[in-house]
Amino acid sequence: MTETPATDAMAADTADDSAGGPPPFGAGLTFHGPLSEARADAMIARLAAASPATVLDIGCGWGELLLRVLAAVPGAKGLGIDINGADLALGRQLAVERRLSERVEYVEESGHGTTRGPADTVLCLGSGQALCDPDGPYDLVTILRELRRLVRPGGRVLLGEGFWQRIPTDAELARLWPGARVEDHTTLDVLVDLAIEAGFRPAWIETASPEEWEAFESGYRQATELWLAAHPEHPLAAETRARVDRQRGHWLGYRDLLGIAYLTLVPVG
């Protein structure tokens, strides 16, 4: 998962880890988002049951879920697109280690207006911004319309998208990521309705648990926090401390407000 308005507060704001500097935020995470191994396994089993020949991952990061789907569907080919070259390099390394490099390609490019589809399975986990106009607002209608365009008839879309568990007050919005607005997200029922209006049936609706959120958020900062405790006087410590404290503060602000929905969507017709 890469960043969306839902996850600006957990932006991959990495520090320089050269010369004994701090490790990057999220070092050691399996998934870049609140997703447990058990939930991932169940998602992959449902996607694999449709026997996709092609898998497209929009805003793939290092493509952990993409690689796992390919491992579960022998012969399937995968393509991951992202603008983060470091994440893509990690994905290529993981593909070699898992003997999947001949079945997956990673491409450094924007997903806006992509012609990389259609595919049998499309993954878009916390990366809807990749499908939006980079000069425009975050637009769920556009995201869902693009996903409908990119999936083949009979295929599957796995969408990970933020939603408000309840509408935040102005005071609560002020504690979130910079520039946070009520319009950044919908409630879960509205999100599902928008998916249906875009031409999907929601075959499976699930949401990240508090435990998944806490494991992700703590894991996102853990390596950095350990480094700060061991290197309080390092030249980069003050800058890193401010960054990690800011990120943690954002999470504690949206902890009971923001959810992540995982929707398995099937195109109609």
Instruction: Judge whether residue 146 has pLDDT over 50.
Output: yes
33 Cβ contact list (under 8 Å, min separation 6): 1, 7, 125, 126, 160, 208, 216, 260
Residues 155, 176 contacting (CB under 8 angstroms): no
Which is nearest to 130 in space by CA: 151, 148, 147? 147
- Can you give the pLDDT at residue 159? 98
Range of the domain at 224: 5-264
Residues 76-100 have pLDDT tens digits of 999 999 999 999 999 999 999 999 9
pLDDT band at 143 (very low <50, low <70, confident <90, very high): very high
Strand order in the sheet with 54-58: 104-108, 77-82, 54-58, 119-125, 151-164, 258-267, 200-207
Report how many domains make up the chain.
1
CATH of the domain at 99: 3.40.50.150
| Residues 69, 41: Cα–Cα separation, whole Å | 9
Instruction: Judge whether residue 8 has pLDDT over 50.
Output: no
Q: Residue 269 domain-assigned?
A: no
| Residues 24, 14: Cα–Cα separation, whole Å | 5
